[in-house]
Amino acid sequence: MVKTSISSKPPLVRQVLLQLFAATLLSLAFGWYRDWAWSTVSATMLGGLIALGTGLYFNWRSFRCDLDVENEMNPHRILADIYRAAVAKTMMAGVLLALAFKYGDQLDKPFILIGFVLISLIAVVCNVIYSRDTSSTL
């Protein structure tokens, strides 16, 4: 029994570390812009951590399946797993952002969204870069 993995499985550790580094730099940059306001630094970091957590869940959930040579998975099942992971990620992000807006009274609310959106975009770029198939030539 030979076990092969999906070739587009992204290196999640590098992606998580890059997102943490970007969230830290982003929160420090916005904090410096707002005269080191603690509410801005923590709000940006909170938005980044929400994006990081939901993106990590999505990647873990959608890229965790392994294919057996003898018993390959149905492509519809793989696509359904990815759709379920996307829906769960969206619902988790909505709930976590709603909780941050409701209970984060001292936080700058726009910076929660800015941190979330920018770190989410970094996750998308990382997925595109890390899942490229560099072995094939045109």
Domain edges within the chain: 11-130
Query: Please, are residues 69 and 4 in contact by the beta-carbon 8 Å criterion?
Result: yes
Burial of 79 (0-12, 13-18, 19+ CB in 10 A): exposed
Say if residue 37's pLDDT is above 60: yes
Look at the pTM and tell me if it is higher than 0.85: no
Amino acid making up residue 100:
A
Per-residue pLDDT, averaged over 45-70, amounts to 81
Instruction: Compare 116 and 81 and report the one with higher pLDDT.
Output: 116
Query: 59-70: per-residue pLDDT in tens?
Result: 888 877 655 555
Query: Please, are residues 50 and 93 in contact by the beta-carbon 8 Å criterion?
Result: yes
Q: Are strands 66-68 and 3-5 parallel, antiparallel or unpaired?
A: antiparallel
